[in-house]
Structure 1
Amino acid sequence: MATEIELKLRLDPKNVRKLLAHPVLAGIASQKQHLLNTYYDTPELALRARRIAMRFRKKGWQWLLTVKSAEPASGGLAIRNEWETNATPGVFDFSHVDAPELRTMLETARDDLEAVFTTDFRRQLWQVPCGESLIEMAVDRGGIAARGRREAICEVELELLSGRIEDIFTLTRQLQQHINLHPAIASKAERGYRLFLNEPERPFRAKPLPIHAGQTPVAAFRTIALGCLEHFQRNESALLAGGAPEFIHQARVALRRLRSAIKLFAPVLPEDFVAAYGQSWKTLAGALGEARNWDVFLEETLPPIHAAFPHNHDIHRLRNEARRRVKAARRSIVRLLAVKEYPRLMVEFTAAVHALTDSRPVALKTFAKERIAAHTRSARKMAEQYADLNAEERHIMRLRFKKLRYAMEFMAPLLPTRHMKTYLTALGRLQEALGLINDQVTAELLINEALGQKSATAAHGWVAGRQEILVTYIPAALADWLKAHDRMAEQ
């Protein structure tokens, strides 16, 4: 078994010639290959379900059988297990796979394997020395085909042949100085399956992250941070295409979770890392927040107001202005993702996360317990004073509970399972109730921004009344959370 460490970068076809003339390639001979690959799976796509890709590759006169694990990439970087051997096309011999469970699964599925999709592309290769490392740089141009559908390939792959992961990022920085290269997250196999199934793009939601007690706090942060980055990147292409509301929401959640993780693990992270990356995502997060606020206002807050006052002139004006603001907010996101600083930030952050080392000798479970306790004390203190809080203080309390929820979700694999589901449900309901109040506060600001404080009095009155009603729901939600918290504390 070999471990493949590879960074994938999206390349605009118009920039291929510029890349080929890049100074870093000067004096390095290249090789050209024509690669024809056929990917196989069972009719039920059992390999895909196990995150395995299996293909026959024709490279010149040579045939290769390759089996790859399909661990997700983050920031464009993927670290995957790979088994490859010379082969006869159509002969599924998995004796080279030295992982017994995987080999058994492949051999069991052998009689059901059938072609699923193909990739056909031209590859130009350079072996580029960089620092202490040797990196294979490949430029791939061609296409993916499945069931009569086709999708273009134009990308750069940087594979570490020997040396250090950080040198892949060094080479990427050098390339980005002359050309706009964007970290890409989907492998050719992943794109092929999506084409085969003709799957529409769906919003990608946060997944449980596989941290475990054997990790150090820094290693756990790395797992969490890269998981948050994947969460964002999986929604990125939809953002560039104009972004349906749920894609924007999920991208915003991803960055919120990422920034919360940085704050949560700040005691074990370098101060310069926290200072730099605690703020680096702020502009993009702000643009996503602006778009999300207008989406919620237009789709959730405004419809019942319009239904109650169908002939109100100000409400009609407000709806038209909200639609205009929604479109403007999406254009702002697209512009931010298009600037050259964005892909560079993605690369720099990924590199910085991989470069982190442990500086504080503490067990992860101990660290998790300390940090969750601190977040709980902070939230509980405000919860116990809820009756006396003003609107601004309720907003602060909402943010504290949001941070607590993210901390609990991040650390969930380390925590006792008894009462955990009840606790998280109560915490989620409380956060949702606080969020609904915040939506009304935000709506008031958006109405003023769109039409001015003296206009749309019907909308102002509706929002104020709705807020007063929602505020009365909070004590019961707080009581449920406190009860669930006390049960957890008894364990």
Structure 2
Amino acid sequence: MQETELKLELSRSGAGSLLKKNPFGSSPTILQQRSIYFDTPGWDLSKRGLSLRIRQSGNERIQTVKAGDGAAAGSFTREEWERPVAGDAPILDDPQIRDLLAGAGSKLAPLFEVHVKRHSWNVIDDDATVEVALDIGKVVAADRESPLCEIELEKKAGPPRALFALARKVDLITPAHLGVMSKAERGYRLLGPAPGAAKAAPTPLTSDMSAATAFACIAAACLRQFRLNEAALGWSGDAEALHQARVSLRRLRSLFSICKSLFDDSRFDHLREEFKWLTSELGDARNIDVMIDRASSEALSSCLREARDEAYAAVEASLSSTRARSLMIDATEWISIEGWRTQSDETLHVQSSTDFASMVFDKFRKKVAKDGDNLIDADDESRHKVRIAAKKLRYAAEFFEPLYNNKTEAKRHRRFIKALKDLQDQLGSLNDIATAPDMLAALELSEVAGAKDLYSAEDKSKLLEDAAKAHDAFVNTRRFWR
């Protein structure tokens, strides 16, 4: 059977508020649950996108195997197989399950456990039935453990929009952040090194996907990357986590920009504007981090670190705002339900992802090649526009990379990305020099010792020469898509 659910993360105090106000129309059923997760020593199941657990609730034990990408971006849709078992050892006598686990059965061993107190409700609203489960507990792996407090909304009948309506009802009572990690993923994370900043990972695409389906997959992956980094930033205050959170938003905005021809939907435009707002909220903090790395005097470094504390506090306030939380829920609903397919030109939605990608590559390659032809004499604004076009082209090349996987295409793709990265690096450094005076003035640091070193004419002259060379190298790099 197929499972469709929406996951939200709450604080312990928030869970208490939710239980006290109980917006679900009935008293909850309360159970203590213990789940044991199994895998091979080499994590074969995890690598294949599978999970296997035995969950004990009272005297009942249920074995569950789940398949598919259960950790895309809050809205989980995956296949699952359940059966009762007598003990804490997996039973693999079903031929379908044996085939699914393909050779892993004899190597399976318990890896970690999840212990929760579950409060559950069945909520019926018109033609929709949703199972609500609030889990408060912990994940335990070897000698490590982490707290767990989340609410799962699983569609049992009716339209999936009911999940998001309930999510908004929960968020009115207590802050509810989009959840992007399954319990299994939390356990695997405990077994490895402490997770830090999350970089973008390839999105599995196939050539038989439509452009619209590819868009939905990539957008969900961008949301997931953002939420992972938002969480890491919350407990670490790490500059790389903030950088990658901003990268994920810029990738998402670039995706919306290159795919705008697919949509004629007012919600699309609204989401674009909201992601632009959220990206800007992280901008000052990131710019200060860049200047700290380049600062040549201790006086300037000290002042910038003070400014950094204020900027990071502003970022925290923005990310914890109702507006930011609502954006994550709204975007996930729009992407996963895909009502936009019925409001736009259907011929665009059946266009193959490969044809669409080629069109995007041709368009932005031409723009970067033409507009960057005279970088040395161009003004700062013109170079900035080339930088933006190069960034969109690189993100597009990364988004659609899985579609170009034969040996020749892969080799050309690596060279193309390297040429683009070299160009972006030079243009990015030039942009840092161009924006530094205004940033320093806004921080009232223009006269601090070392401030003018952040935008020296000598550095700019050298960067302009390097940028022109990088542009020439890019123009001479072979295309990987034709």
TM-score, normalization: structure 1? Answer: 0.89
Question: Which region of structure 1 is more displaced relative to structure 2, 389-398 or 236-245?
Answer: 236-245
The one-letter code of the counterpart of 1:244 is: D
Match of 1:226 in 2: 220
Compared with structure 1, are the counterparts of its residues 251 and 94 closer, same or farther at alpha carbon in structure 2 (3 Å cutoff)?
A: same
Compared with structure 1, are the counterparts of its residues 459 and 230 closer, same or farther at alpha carbon in structure 2 (3 Å cutoff)?
A: same
The one-letter code of the counterpart of 1:114 is: A
Q: Deviations over 1:343-365 (max 9, x none)?
A: 22111111011233433314223
1:373 deviates by 1.9
Q: CA separation in 2, counterparts of 1:17 and 1:458?
A: 50
Please give the secondary structure, in 2, of the residue aligned with 1:472.
helix
Match of 2:464 in 1: 471
Q: How does 1:415-434 map to 2 (within 5 A)?
A: 415=404, 416-417=409-410, 419-434=412-427
1:396 to 385, 389, 395: 385
Stretches of structure 2 that go unaligned for 5 or more consecutive residues are none
The answer to whether residue 109 in structure 2 is matched with residue 114 in structure 1 is: yes
Q: Deviations over 1:82-120 (max 9, x none)?
A: 22111122443223362564232332xx2x332222222
1:340 deviates by 2.1
| Contact 2:3–2:77, Cα closer than 8 Å, also in 1 | yes
Q: CA separation in 2, counterparts of 1:294 and 1:426?
A: 27
Please give the secondary structure, in 2, of the residue aligned with 1:123.
strand
Question: Which region of structure 1 is more displaced relative to structure 2, 205-214 or 364-373?
Answer: 364-373
1:143 deviates by 2.0
Q: CA separation in 2, counterparts of 1:469 and 1:91?
A: 66
Match of 1:313 in 2: none
Q: CA separation in 1, counterparts of 2:129 and 2:464?
A: 61
Please give the secondary structure, in 1, of the residue aligned with 2:456.
helix
| Contact 1:419–1:488, Cα closer than 8 Å, also in 2 | yes
Q: CA separation in 2, counterparts of 1:24 and 1:399?
A: 46
Match of 1:61 in 2: 59
The answer to whether residue 159 in structure 2 is matched with residue 164 in structure 1 is: yes
1:336 deviates by 0.9
Q: Deviations over 1:117-148 (max 9, x none)?
A: 22222212111113432110011122222223
Match of 2:199 in 1: 205
> Percent identity of the aligned residues?
29
The one-letter code of the counterpart of 2:302 is: N
1:207 deviates by 1.1
Q: How does 1:126-205 map to 2 (within 5 A)?
A: 126-197=121-192, 199-205=193-199
Q: CA separation in 2, counterparts of 1:458 and 1:417?
A: 44
| Contact 2:300–2:451, Cα closer than 8 Å, also in 1 | no
Match of 2:19 in 1: 20
Compared with structure 1, are the counterparts of its residues 453 and 194 closer, same or farther at alpha carbon in structure 2 (3 Å cutoff)?
A: closer
1:456 deviates by 4.0
Q: Deviations over 1:147-194 (max 9, x none)?
A: 233322222111111222222112212222333222222222222222
| Contact 2:40–2:104, Cα closer than 8 Å, also in 1 | no
Q: CA separation in 2, counterparts of 1:86 and 1:289?
A: 52
Q: How does 1:70-85 map to 2 (within 5 A)?
A: 71-85=69-83
Question: Which region of structure 1 is more displaced relative to structure 2, 415-424 or 332-341?
Answer: 415-424
Q: CA separation in 2, counterparts of 1:461 and 1:196?
A: 43
Q: CA separation in 2, counterparts of 1:196 and 1:423?
A: 37
TM-score, normalization: structure 2? Answer: 0.91
Please give the secondary structure, in 1, of the residue aligned with 2:102.
helix
Q: Deviations over 1:265-289 (max 9, x none)?
A: 1111134133201110223211222
Please give the secondary structure, in 2, of the residue aligned with 1:413.
helix
| CA RMSD after TM alignment | 2.3
The answer to whether residue 273 in structure 2 is matched with residue 279 in structure 1 is: yes
Q: CA separation in 2, counterparts of 1:228 and 1:451?
A: 35
The one-letter code of the counterpart of 1:168 is: L
Q: CA separation in 2, counterparts of 1:233 and 1:482?
A: 36
1:488 deviates by 4.8
Match of 2:41 in 1: 43
1:322 deviates by 0.6
| Contact 2:300–2:448, Cα closer than 8 Å, also in 1 | no
Q: CA separation in 2, counterparts of 1:43 and 1:141?
A: 28
Q: CA separation in 2, counterparts of 1:443 and 1:5?
A: 48
The answer to whether residue 372 in structure 2 is matched with residue 383 in structure 1 is: yes
Compared with structure 1, are the counterparts of its residues 340 and 379 closer, same or farther at alpha carbon in structure 2 (3 Å cutoff)?
A: same
| Contact 1:3–1:81, Cα closer than 8 Å, also in 2 | yes
Question: Which region of structure 1 is more displaced relative to structure 2, 30-39 or 201-210?
Answer: 30-39
Match of 2:401 in 1: 412
Match of 2:323 in 1: 341
Compared with structure 1, are the counterparts of its residues 457 and 139 closer, same or farther at alpha carbon in structure 2 (3 Å cutoff)?
A: closer
| Contact 2:198–2:228, Cα closer than 8 Å, also in 1 | yes
Q: Deviations over 1:290-345 (max 9, x none)?
A: 1111111102x11xx33xxxxxxxxx432221111111111111111122222221
1:17 deviates by 4.2
| Contact 1:204–1:250, Cα closer than 8 Å, also in 2 | yes
The count of corresponding residues between Structure 1 and Structure 2 is: 471
Match of 1:445 in 2: 438
1:332 to 310, 314, 323: 314
Question: Which region of structure 1 is more displaced relative to structure 2, 259-268 or 365-374?
Answer: 365-374
Q: CA separation in 2, counterparts of 1:192 and 1:476?
A: 48
Q: CA separation in 1, counterparts of 2:292 and 2:213?
A: 42
Q: CA separation in 2, counterparts of 1:50 and 1:411?
A: 21
Question: Which region of structure 1 is more displaced relative to structure 2, 249-258 or 375-384?
Answer: 375-384
The one-letter code of the counterpart of 2:436 is: A
1:37 deviates by 1.4
1:354 to 298, 312, 336: 336
Match of 1:310 in 2: none
